[in-house]
Amino acid sequence: MVTRQNGALARKPRPRVGTEDFHTMRARELTEVIANEIEPLPRLCEHIRRVARLPRVMVSWRVRELLLQEDMRLFEEDYSRYFNPGLSKGPEVGRPFLLRPLWVRGGIVLAHGYMAAPLEVRALAEHLYQRGYVVYGVRLKGHGTSPEDLAHSAWEDWYEAISRGHAIVRTFTNQVFVGGFSTGGCLALIAAARKPRHLRGVFSICAPLKLHNYSVRLAPSIVTLNSLLRRFGRNRESWEYVDNDPENKHINYTRNPLTGVTELVKVMDAMEGCLPQVKIPALVVQGSKDPTVNPVSGTLIFDQLGSARKELAVFERERHGIINGDGAVEIFDRVYHFLRRAGVESAAPETAARATLAVL
Protein backbone atom coordinates (compact mmCIF):
# COMPACT_ATOMS: atom_id res chain seq x y z
CA MET A 1 0.00 0.00 0.00
CA VAL A 2 1.31 3.44 -0.95
CA THR A 3 0.60 6.27 1.51
CA ARG A 4 1.58 9.93 1.79
CA GLN A 5 3.74 10.78 4.82
CA ASN A 6 4.99 14.34 5.40
CA GLY A 7 4.47 15.21 1.75
CA ALA A 8 6.31 12.12 0.44
CA LEU A 9 5.01 8.81 -0.90
CA ALA A 10 5.91 5.74 1.13
CA ARG A 11 5.11 2.06 0.72
CA LYS A 12 3.50 0.49 3.75
CA PRO A 13 4.13 -3.27 3.99
CA ARG A 14 0.97 -5.37 4.10
CA PRO A 15 0.68 -8.61 6.04
CA ARG A 16 0.74 -11.69 3.85
CA VAL A 17 -2.57 -13.51 3.66
CA GLY A 18 -3.26 -16.82 2.03
CA THR A 19 -6.86 -16.24 1.01
CA GLU A 20 -6.22 -13.90 -1.95
CA ASP A 21 -5.85 -15.24 -5.46
CA PHE A 22 -2.86 -14.50 -7.71
CA HIS A 23 -4.37 -11.53 -9.57
CA THR A 24 -5.81 -9.91 -6.44
CA MET A 25 -2.43 -10.10 -4.74
CA ARG A 26 -0.72 -8.51 -7.76
CA ALA A 27 -3.27 -5.69 -7.76
CA ARG A 28 -2.81 -5.04 -4.04
CA GLU A 29 0.99 -5.24 -4.13
CA LEU A 30 1.42 -3.23 -7.33
CA THR A 31 4.67 -1.51 -6.35
CA GLU A 32 6.24 -4.83 -5.39
CA VAL A 33 5.13 -6.36 -8.69
CA ILE A 34 6.69 -3.48 -10.63
CA ALA A 35 9.92 -3.77 -8.64
CA ASN A 36 10.03 -7.50 -9.32
CA GLU A 37 9.48 -6.99 -13.06
CA ILE A 38 12.27 -4.45 -13.53
CA GLU A 39 14.82 -6.09 -11.23
CA PRO A 40 16.42 -8.08 -14.12
CA LEU A 41 16.97 -4.77 -16.02
CA PRO A 42 20.03 -3.20 -14.36
CA ARG A 43 20.23 -0.18 -16.68
CA LEU A 44 16.62 0.74 -15.99
CA CYS A 45 17.11 0.23 -12.25
CA GLU A 46 20.12 2.54 -12.28
CA HIS A 47 18.17 5.17 -14.22
CA ILE A 48 15.36 5.02 -11.64
CA ARG A 49 17.90 5.44 -8.83
CA ARG A 50 19.34 8.52 -10.55
CA VAL A 51 15.88 10.03 -10.96
CA ALA A 52 15.05 9.29 -7.32
CA ARG A 53 18.15 11.22 -6.24
CA LEU A 54 17.24 14.31 -8.28
CA PRO A 55 16.00 17.41 -6.45
CA ARG A 56 12.24 17.88 -6.60
CA VAL A 57 12.60 21.05 -8.67
CA MET A 58 14.52 19.13 -11.33
CA VAL A 59 11.93 16.34 -11.45
CA SER A 60 9.18 18.95 -11.79
CA TRP A 61 11.04 20.61 -14.65
CA ARG A 62 11.48 17.32 -16.49
CA VAL A 63 7.84 16.32 -16.02
CA ARG A 64 6.72 19.74 -17.23
CA GLU A 65 8.87 19.63 -20.34
CA LEU A 66 7.68 16.13 -21.24
CA LEU A 67 4.02 17.06 -20.86
CA LEU A 68 4.41 20.33 -22.77
CA GLN A 69 6.16 18.49 -25.59
CA GLU A 70 3.41 15.85 -25.59
CA ASP A 71 0.67 18.48 -25.81
CA MET A 72 2.45 20.25 -28.65
CA ARG A 73 3.07 16.96 -30.47
CA LEU A 74 -0.60 16.04 -30.25
CA PHE A 75 -1.60 19.40 -31.71
CA GLU A 76 0.94 19.33 -34.53
CA GLU A 77 -0.05 15.79 -35.51
CA ASP A 78 -3.77 16.58 -35.47
CA TYR A 79 -3.28 19.84 -37.35
CA SER A 80 -1.23 18.13 -40.04
CA ARG A 81 -3.62 15.20 -40.37
CA TYR A 82 -6.89 17.16 -40.47
CA PHE A 83 -5.82 20.44 -42.06
CA ASN A 84 -8.49 21.79 -44.41
CA PRO A 85 -7.53 24.88 -46.46
CA GLY A 86 -11.07 26.21 -46.44
CA LEU A 87 -11.94 25.51 -42.81
CA SER A 88 -8.76 25.41 -40.70
CA LYS A 89 -7.38 28.51 -38.99
CA GLY A 90 -3.69 29.29 -38.59
CA PRO A 91 -1.74 27.09 -36.17
CA GLU A 92 -1.29 30.04 -33.79
CA VAL A 93 -5.03 29.85 -33.08
CA GLY A 94 -5.03 26.25 -31.91
CA ARG A 95 -1.71 25.83 -30.09
CA PRO A 96 -1.91 25.41 -26.32
CA PHE A 97 0.03 28.11 -24.48
CA LEU A 98 1.85 28.64 -21.19
CA LEU A 99 2.21 32.03 -19.50
CA ARG A 100 4.63 32.13 -16.57
CA PRO A 101 5.30 35.26 -14.49
CA LEU A 102 8.55 35.84 -12.62
CA TRP A 103 6.72 35.78 -9.29
CA VAL A 104 4.07 33.09 -9.02
CA ARG A 105 0.94 33.81 -6.98
CA GLY A 106 -0.81 30.64 -8.13
CA GLY A 107 -1.61 28.57 -11.20
CA ILE A 108 -4.63 28.25 -13.48
CA VAL A 109 -5.69 25.57 -15.94
CA LEU A 110 -7.85 27.42 -18.48
CA ALA A 111 -10.12 25.76 -21.06
CA HIS A 112 -11.86 27.20 -24.13
CA GLY A 113 -15.33 26.44 -25.45
CA TYR A 114 -16.85 24.06 -27.98
CA MET A 115 -15.73 24.59 -31.61
CA ALA A 116 -13.23 27.22 -30.38
CA ALA A 117 -9.49 27.10 -29.61
CA PRO A 118 -6.99 28.31 -26.97
CA LEU A 119 -6.88 31.77 -28.56
CA GLU A 120 -10.43 32.28 -27.30
CA VAL A 121 -9.23 32.47 -23.67
CA ARG A 122 -5.92 34.21 -24.37
CA ALA A 123 -7.07 37.70 -23.28
CA LEU A 124 -8.32 36.36 -19.93
CA ALA A 125 -5.09 34.41 -19.53
CA GLU A 126 -2.98 37.51 -20.17
CA HIS A 127 -4.98 39.48 -17.60
CA LEU A 128 -4.39 36.87 -14.90
CA TYR A 129 -0.76 36.30 -15.91
CA GLN A 130 -0.05 40.01 -15.42
CA ARG A 131 -1.34 39.61 -11.86
CA GLY A 132 1.02 36.82 -10.95
CA TYR A 133 -0.65 33.61 -12.10
CA VAL A 134 0.87 30.84 -14.18
CA VAL A 135 -1.75 30.12 -16.83
CA TYR A 136 -1.87 27.11 -19.10
CA GLY A 137 -4.38 27.42 -21.93
CA VAL A 138 -5.25 23.86 -22.90
CA ARG A 139 -6.41 22.70 -26.32
CA LEU A 140 -9.37 20.37 -26.21
CA LYS A 141 -8.99 17.41 -28.55
CA GLY A 142 -10.53 18.06 -31.97
CA HIS A 143 -10.29 21.83 -31.63
CA GLY A 144 -7.99 24.32 -33.34
CA THR A 145 -7.62 22.01 -36.34
CA SER A 146 -10.74 21.30 -38.42
CA PRO A 147 -14.37 20.19 -37.93
CA GLU A 148 -13.46 16.71 -39.19
CA ASP A 149 -11.09 16.30 -36.26
CA LEU A 150 -13.82 17.36 -33.85
CA ALA A 151 -16.18 14.84 -35.44
CA HIS A 152 -13.84 12.04 -34.32
CA SER A 153 -13.26 13.27 -30.75
CA ALA A 154 -15.00 12.15 -27.57
CA TRP A 155 -15.62 14.38 -24.57
CA GLU A 156 -13.36 12.18 -22.45
CA ASP A 157 -10.55 13.25 -24.82
CA TRP A 158 -11.41 16.88 -24.03
CA TYR A 159 -11.17 16.15 -20.32
CA GLU A 160 -7.76 14.53 -20.77
CA ALA A 161 -6.43 17.94 -21.84
CA ILE A 162 -7.58 19.32 -18.47
CA SER A 163 -5.75 16.51 -16.66
CA ARG A 164 -2.50 17.14 -18.54
CA GLY A 165 -2.84 20.86 -17.95
CA HIS A 166 -3.30 20.28 -14.25
CA ALA A 167 -0.16 18.14 -14.11
CA ILE A 168 1.79 20.90 -15.89
CA VAL A 169 0.60 23.70 -13.62
CA ARG A 170 1.27 21.59 -10.51
CA THR A 171 4.96 21.63 -11.38
CA PHE A 172 4.95 25.39 -10.68
CA THR A 173 2.73 25.65 -7.61
CA ASN A 174 0.35 23.73 -5.36
CA GLN A 175 -2.06 26.68 -5.45
CA VAL A 176 -3.89 25.47 -8.57
CA PHE A 177 -7.26 26.65 -9.90
CA VAL A 178 -9.23 25.41 -12.88
CA GLY A 179 -11.60 27.42 -15.02
CA GLY A 180 -13.09 27.69 -18.44
CA PHE A 181 -15.46 29.37 -20.82
CA SER A 182 -18.64 27.69 -22.08
CA THR A 183 -17.88 23.97 -22.55
CA GLY A 184 -14.51 24.62 -20.93
CA GLY A 185 -16.43 25.72 -17.85
CA CYS A 186 -18.31 22.41 -17.83
CA LEU A 187 -15.02 20.51 -17.95
CA ALA A 188 -13.59 22.70 -15.18
CA LEU A 189 -16.51 21.87 -12.90
CA ILE A 190 -16.11 18.16 -13.65
CA ALA A 191 -12.43 18.44 -12.72
CA ALA A 192 -13.36 20.25 -9.50
CA ALA A 193 -15.58 17.32 -8.53
CA ARG A 194 -12.93 14.73 -9.42
CA LYS A 195 -9.81 16.45 -8.03
CA PRO A 196 -11.00 18.30 -4.90
CA ARG A 197 -7.78 17.75 -2.94
CA HIS A 198 -5.60 19.12 -5.73
CA LEU A 199 -7.50 22.31 -6.55
CA ARG A 200 -8.02 25.55 -4.62
CA GLY A 201 -11.01 26.76 -6.60
CA VAL A 202 -12.98 26.62 -9.84
CA PHE A 203 -14.67 29.18 -12.06
CA SER A 204 -16.99 28.74 -15.02
CA ILE A 205 -18.07 31.43 -17.49
CA CYS A 206 -21.26 30.90 -19.50
CA ALA A 207 -21.15 27.14 -18.96
CA PRO A 208 -24.15 25.47 -20.65
CA LEU A 209 -26.63 23.50 -18.61
CA LYS A 210 -29.58 24.63 -20.71
CA LEU A 211 -29.32 25.84 -24.32
CA HIS A 212 -31.67 28.05 -26.28
CA ASN A 213 -31.50 25.62 -29.21
CA TYR A 214 -33.52 22.63 -27.99
CA SER A 215 -32.72 20.70 -31.18
CA VAL A 216 -29.26 20.01 -29.73
CA ARG A 217 -30.85 17.19 -27.74
CA LEU A 218 -31.87 15.56 -31.02
CA ALA A 219 -28.25 15.22 -32.20
CA PRO A 220 -27.64 11.76 -30.65
CA SER A 221 -30.68 10.39 -32.50
CA ILE A 222 -29.52 11.89 -35.79
CA VAL A 223 -26.03 10.44 -35.28
CA THR A 224 -27.59 7.01 -34.72
CA LEU A 225 -29.65 7.43 -37.88
CA ASN A 226 -26.53 8.42 -39.84
CA SER A 227 -24.80 5.28 -38.63
CA LEU A 228 -27.69 3.14 -39.87
CA LEU A 229 -27.71 4.89 -43.26
CA ARG A 230 -23.98 4.27 -43.68
CA ARG A 231 -24.45 0.63 -42.76
CA PHE A 232 -26.93 0.24 -45.60
CA GLY A 233 -24.76 2.16 -48.06
CA ARG A 234 -26.87 5.31 -48.11
CA ASN A 235 -24.14 7.78 -47.15
CA ARG A 236 -25.54 10.56 -49.34
CA GLU A 237 -28.68 10.72 -47.23
CA SER A 238 -26.81 11.15 -43.94
CA TRP A 239 -26.60 14.51 -42.19
CA GLU A 240 -23.11 14.88 -40.70
CA TYR A 241 -22.59 18.65 -40.24
CA VAL A 242 -24.59 21.83 -39.77
CA ASP A 243 -23.44 25.36 -40.57
CA ASN A 244 -22.23 27.56 -37.73
CA ASP A 245 -22.12 31.36 -37.69
CA PRO A 246 -19.78 32.18 -34.78
CA GLU A 247 -19.08 35.51 -33.12
CA ASN A 248 -15.33 34.99 -33.50
CA LYS A 249 -14.91 33.73 -37.04
CA HIS A 250 -11.11 33.94 -36.76
CA ILE A 251 -11.23 31.32 -33.98
CA ASN A 252 -14.33 29.13 -34.17
CA TYR A 253 -15.32 26.52 -36.72
CA THR A 254 -17.96 27.45 -39.28
CA ARG A 255 -19.18 23.84 -39.53
CA ASN A 256 -20.50 21.88 -36.57
CA PRO A 257 -20.28 18.06 -36.63
CA LEU A 258 -23.35 16.39 -35.17
CA THR A 259 -21.16 13.80 -33.47
CA GLY A 260 -19.51 16.71 -31.66
CA VAL A 261 -22.91 18.01 -30.57
CA THR A 262 -23.63 14.57 -29.15
CA GLU A 263 -20.44 14.78 -27.09
CA LEU A 264 -21.43 18.27 -25.95
CA VAL A 265 -24.70 16.88 -24.62
CA LYS A 266 -22.73 14.20 -22.75
CA VAL A 267 -20.49 16.86 -21.17
CA MET A 268 -23.50 18.85 -20.00
CA ASP A 269 -25.05 15.75 -18.46
CA ALA A 270 -21.76 14.71 -16.83
CA MET A 271 -21.31 18.18 -15.37
CA GLU A 272 -24.82 18.25 -13.91
CA GLY A 273 -24.20 14.92 -12.24
CA CYS A 274 -20.95 16.20 -10.71
CA LEU A 275 -22.17 19.52 -9.30
CA PRO A 276 -23.12 18.24 -5.81
CA GLN A 277 -19.60 16.81 -5.48
CA VAL A 278 -17.94 20.20 -6.06
CA LYS A 279 -16.87 21.22 -2.55
CA ILE A 280 -14.12 23.75 -3.31
CA PRO A 281 -14.67 27.53 -3.69
CA ALA A 282 -16.55 28.21 -6.93
CA LEU A 283 -17.44 31.20 -9.08
CA VAL A 284 -20.21 30.98 -11.69
CA VAL A 285 -20.33 33.80 -14.27
CA GLN A 286 -23.28 34.20 -16.61
CA GLY A 287 -24.42 36.74 -19.19
CA SER A 288 -27.99 37.90 -18.59
CA LYS A 289 -29.01 37.82 -22.27
CA ASP A 290 -26.78 35.06 -23.62
CA PRO A 291 -28.16 34.09 -27.06
CA THR A 292 -26.54 30.63 -26.99
CA VAL A 293 -26.66 29.42 -23.39
CA ASN A 294 -29.97 29.88 -21.61
CA PRO A 295 -29.12 32.38 -18.82
CA VAL A 296 -30.95 30.21 -16.31
CA SER A 297 -27.91 27.89 -16.56
CA GLY A 298 -25.91 30.10 -14.21
CA THR A 299 -28.50 29.92 -11.44
CA LEU A 300 -29.11 26.20 -11.92
CA ILE A 301 -25.38 25.43 -11.73
CA PHE A 302 -24.94 27.65 -8.68
CA ASP A 303 -27.88 26.10 -6.82
CA GLN A 304 -26.62 22.54 -7.38
CA LEU A 305 -23.00 23.16 -6.39
CA GLY A 306 -22.04 21.38 -3.19
CA SER A 307 -19.56 24.07 -2.15
CA ALA A 308 -20.25 26.19 0.92
CA ARG A 309 -18.18 29.00 -0.62
CA LYS A 310 -19.74 29.77 -3.96
CA GLU A 311 -20.51 32.94 -5.87
CA LEU A 312 -22.81 33.80 -8.76
CA ALA A 313 -22.00 36.83 -10.90
CA VAL A 314 -24.53 37.84 -13.55
CA PHE A 315 -23.45 40.48 -16.07
CA GLU A 316 -25.73 42.47 -18.36
CA ARG A 317 -24.48 41.14 -21.68
CA GLU A 318 -26.20 40.34 -24.96
CA ARG A 319 -23.43 38.12 -26.37
CA HIS A 320 -22.25 34.61 -25.56
CA GLY A 321 -18.54 35.32 -26.03
CA ILE A 322 -18.30 37.78 -23.14
CA ILE A 323 -14.60 37.16 -22.49
CA ASN A 324 -13.65 39.00 -25.68
CA GLY A 325 -14.60 42.49 -26.83
CA ASP A 326 -16.36 45.27 -24.94
CA GLY A 327 -16.88 44.67 -21.24
CA ALA A 328 -14.50 41.71 -21.01
CA VAL A 329 -12.10 43.39 -18.57
CA GLU A 330 -14.83 43.72 -15.94
CA ILE A 331 -15.35 39.97 -16.10
CA PHE A 332 -11.59 39.38 -15.93
CA ASP A 333 -11.39 41.48 -12.76
CA ARG A 334 -14.27 39.54 -11.23
CA VAL A 335 -12.43 36.28 -11.84
CA TYR A 336 -9.19 37.72 -10.46
CA HIS A 337 -10.80 38.90 -7.21
CA PHE A 338 -12.40 35.49 -6.78
CA LEU A 339 -9.03 33.78 -7.22
CA ARG A 340 -7.43 36.04 -4.62
CA ARG A 341 -10.18 35.35 -2.08
CA ALA A 342 -10.26 31.62 -2.79
CA GLY A 343 -6.50 31.40 -2.32
CA VAL A 344 -6.89 32.81 1.19
CA GLU A 345 -10.15 31.11 2.11
CA SER A 346 -9.22 27.60 0.97
CA ALA A 347 -7.69 26.93 4.38
CA ALA A 348 -10.45 28.72 6.34
CA PRO A 349 -13.51 27.10 7.96
CA GLU A 350 -16.56 26.71 5.76
CA THR A 351 -18.85 29.72 5.53
CA ALA A 352 -22.33 30.26 4.17
CA ALA A 353 -22.86 30.34 0.42
CA ARG A 354 -23.08 33.75 -1.17
CA ALA A 355 -24.27 35.04 -4.52
CA THR A 356 -23.14 38.16 -6.32
CA LEU A 357 -25.10 40.00 -8.97
CA ALA A 358 -23.10 42.43 -11.09
CA VAL A 359 -25.03 44.74 -13.39
CA LEU A 360 -23.39 47.17 -15.82
What tens digit of pLDDT does each residue of 156-206 get? 999 999 999 999 999 999 999 999 999 999 999 999 999 989 999 999 999
Starting at the edge strand found earlier in the chain, the sheet holding 201-205 runs 97-99, 133-137, 106-111, 176-181, 201-205, 282-287, 310-315
- Cα distance between residue 242 and residue 226, in whole Å: 14
Cβ distance 163 to 194 under 8 Å?
A: no
> If we measure between CA atoms, which residue out of 169, 50, 190, 63 comes closest to residue 108?
169
Q: Kind and range of the H or E element at 157?
A: helix 155-170
What tens digit of pLDDT does each residue of 100-113 get? 999 999 999 999 99
Cα three-residue angle 231-232-237, rounded to 5 degrees: 95
Q: Residue 31: phi, psi to the nearest 5?
A: -65, -35
What tens digit of pLDDT does each residue of 40-93 get? 888 887 877 877 777 778 888 888 999 999 999 999 999 999 999 999 999 999
Amino acid at 17: V
> If we measure between CA atoms, which residue out of 154, 144, 181, 160 comes closest to residue 262?
154
Region label for 16, one of left (φ > 0), alpha (ψ between -120 and 50) or beta (otherwise): beta
Q: How far are the Cα atoms of 49, 50, 58, 79, 87 from residue 53, in angstroms, in the given order?
A: 6, 5, 10, 39, 49
Whole-model pTM: value is 0.82
Q: pLDDT band for position 96 (50/70/90)? A: very high
Domains, the chain, in order of start with CATH, read: 2-53 (no CATH), 67-345 (3.40.50.1820)
What tens digit of pLDDT does each residue of 6-47 get? 666 666 665 555 556 666 766 777 777 777 777 888 888 787
- Cα distance between residue 219 and residue 225, in whole Å: 10
